[in-house]
Structure 1
Amino acid sequence: MTTERRRDTVRAAGCVLWRPALSGHGIEVALVHRPKYDDWSHPKGKRKRAESAESCALREVLEETGQRCALGTRLPTVRYAVDGRPKEVDYWTARALGGTFAPSDEVDALRWLPPARARALLTRDRDRELLDALPGSAG
């Protein structure tokens, strides 16, 4: 990849956010609904100038879900194009530590679901692949 192309790449970060299931059995995964795209996805967003991928992932989870979280295992970087421009999203697993969701123009709904139900709700295959990489997801 040329230097010019690397500079043109949109850099973002996010998490596959999880918590122990309220039932006491297994885990639940957080999915966010973005009305602009009418999709269900993992919380993620663009990095600010000079922001690390880890800091971005923590910030975006907090902004989109209201949850503080602890980063866990690094997941595969997802690469795709948006309006002809390359985009790279760094992902981690993240355990939810608590917080309160507040709907916004960017994210209007949050759902906590068992991995199998989350997998069915996710809009994109690339997000299902991230879910499948989550330990304990039995994807």
Structure 2
Amino acid sequence: MSDTAVFAAGAVVWRIVEDKLRILLIHRTKYRDVTLPKGKVDPGEMLAQTAVREVHEETGIKVHLGVPVGVSRYWMRPKRQKVVHYWAAEATDAAIRASSFVPNGEISGVEWVSLKKARSHLSYPVDVEILDNFARLVEDGVLRTFPLIALRHGKAVGRSDWEGSDATRPLTDRGHRQASAIVAPLRAFGVKRIVSSDAVRCLQTVAPLERKLRHPAKVTAKISQDAWEDGTGDIRAVVGHRVRARKPAVLCSHGPVLPGILSELALATGTMHGSYVDSASSLEVAGFSVVHLSATNPGSGIISIETHTPKV
């Protein structure tokens, strides 16, 4: 990230009311404008985490992120660029009922409007461009999605520094910090299930997320590095099950195994294997790639892939 840029994140929040699509707009008090919910990244945050937090702070609605819908860039005074990442995010009826929003010094009001009215109400062309990206998802019938997330374990003790078996190598202190740092970003995508290699470094990586979800990981040797090296793994079975389950899940594995996981995701969804699939599998330690799949149109293949790396 550039020192001369200000980074922010937000969402095009949507809902279906009586079979009609509605978009959430906010009216800002200070600027007297109409825009999409967004805000600046707090120190130590990852962008997805920021988007969910800002939507909640500005509208009172808790959302999970769907497909990324673009990045807007514009100049601020004095000569600083603002870079805002946006996702689509469905607001469930339960989340709307739970909202405690009241007009305040920052946001004077919120409104749900049609896509057409949203275009005419928004104050800035950069917001309209994001809305146009969102509209293409609607036109393609792939707005409602679910994520499958390929996660590489955190930083582990090196092989040369460990006397035990490779599978028992633990995380370093940095690895444990990374494991904690990725909990909120993973939860931003609505993760409900965890599947993990049985290697200690993977189990320790998902442990903080397990505690937050209050749901144990499904542990399997089928996506372990040992099984990959000796040819006894079964990535296809694990990936196929998660695709059929159609629930947000994270699969924690190893650098050499990740290309196989991404390839099987492409194969299982009928998606052409392109360079973007290879790029998504080249993850740094504790990095993860979010593969968005249609929840309503299984033949649509992979809708989008995005990659995130913790700052720790």
Same fold (TM over 0.5): yes
**From 11, 24, 48, the counterpart of 1:30:** 24
Q: Where in structure 1 do 4 or more consecutive aligned residues deviate above 4 Å?
A: none
CA contact (8 A) 1:27 1:136 kept: no
Higher strand share: 1
**From 83, 87, 90, the counterpart of 2:85:** 90
Q: Alignment length, in residue pairs?
A: 132
Structure 2 spans left out of the alignment, 5+ residues: 141-312
The code of the aligned residue for 2:123 comes to T
Aligned to 1:10: 6
- For 2:53 and 2:139, how far apart are their aligned partners in 1? 24
Deviates more, 1:93-102 or 1:77-86: 93-102
- For 1:42 and 1:137, how far apart are their aligned partners in 2? 20
Structure 1 spans left out of the alignment, 5+ residues: none
User: In the TM superposition, what whole-angstrom CA distance separates every residue of 1:14-39 from its partner, at most 9, and x where no partner exists?
Assistant: 00000112xx1221000001111111
The code of the aligned residue for 1:15 comes to A
The code of the aligned residue for 2:44 comes to A
Q: CA RMSD in A?
A: 1.6
For the residue of structure 2 that corresponds to 1:15, the secondary structure is strand
CA contact (8 A) 2:71 2:130 kept: no
Aligned to 1:70: 64
The code of the aligned residue for 2:91 comes to A
Shift of 1:70: 1.5
Q: TM-score, normalised by structure 2?
A: 0.41
- For 2:45 and 2:82, how far apart are their aligned partners in 1? 16
For the residue of structure 2 that corresponds to 1:7, the secondary structure is coil
Please tell me whether Structure 1 or Structure 2 has the larger radius of gyration of its CA atoms.
2
- For 2:139 and 2:105, how far apart are their aligned partners in 1? 30
CA contact (8 A) 1:14 1:42 kept: yes
CA contact (8 A) 1:13 1:57 kept: yes
Shift of 1:50: 1.1
Could you tell me the percent identity over the aligned residues? 36
User: In the TM superposition, what whole-angstrom CA distance separates every residue of 1:76-96 from its partner, at most 9, and x where no partner exists?
Assistant: 111111112111001100011
CA contact (8 A) 2:14 2:21 kept: yes
